[in-house]
C-alpha cells in the first residue's frame, strides 16, 4: 500500500511538472505573439496614416487612385506576411506546449 501511495505521489508530481512546463511554454509564446501583433498594428497604423496623407496631397484623380492602389497592395502583402508569421508562431507554440508530454506519451504507448 505504501509503495502505491509513493507511486501515486510521484505520478502526481510528474504530471504537475509537465503541466507547469507546458503552461510556461504557452505563456512565453503568447507574450511573443502579443508583442508581434502590437508591432504589426503600430506599423499598419503608420502606413495607413502615410497613405491618407499621400491621398490628400494628390493633385489629380489619377494620382489619388494610384496612391490608393499602392496602399492596398502594400497593406494586403503586409497582412498576408503577418498572418503567415503568426501561423508559424502558433505552430511553434503548440510544439513547445506538447514537448513535456512526449516522453510520457511514449511510455503510455508501449
| Nearest by Cα to 75 from 58, 95, 55 | 55
Q: Where are the domains of the chain?
A: 59-98
Give residue 100's pLDDT.
87
Q: Three-state SS across the chain?
A: CHHHHHHHHHHHHHHHHHHHHHHHHHHHHHHHHHHHHHHHHHHHHHHHHHHHHHHHCCCCHHHHHHHHHHHHHHHHHHHHHHHHHHHHHHHHHHHHHHHHHHHHHHHHHC
Query: Whose grid coordinates read 505563456?
Result: 27
Model confidence over 71-103: pLDDT tens digits? 999 999 999 999 999 999 999 999 999 988 887
Q: How many CB atoms lie within 10 A of CB 67?
A: 19
Q: Is the pLDDT confidence value at 21 over 80?
A: yes
In the structure, what pLDDT confidence band is assigned to residue 108 with cuts at 50, 70 and 90? low
Higher pLDDT, 35 or 100: 35
Please give the average per-residue pLDDT across 9-26, as a whole number.
Answer: 89
Amino acid at each position: 500500500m505504501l509503495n502505491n501511495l509513493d507511486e501515486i505521489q510521484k505520478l502526481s508530481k510528474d504530471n504537475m511538472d509537465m503541466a507547469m512546463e507546458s503552461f510556461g511554454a504557452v505563456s512565453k509564446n503568447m507574450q511573443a505573439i502579443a508583442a508581434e501583433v502590437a508591432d504589426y498594428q503600430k506599423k499598419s497604423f503608420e502606413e495607413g496614416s502615410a497613405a491618407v496623407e499621400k491621398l490628400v496631397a494628390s493633385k489629380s484623380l489619377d494620382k489619388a487612385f494610384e496612391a490608393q492602389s499602392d496602399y492596398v497592395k502594400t497593406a494586403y502583402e503586409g497582412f498576408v506576411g503577418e498572418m503567415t508569421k503568426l501561423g508559424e508562431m502558433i505552430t511553434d507554440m503548440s510544439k513547445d506546449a506538447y514537448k513535456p508530454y512526449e516522453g510520457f506519451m511514449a511510455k503510455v504507448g508501449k
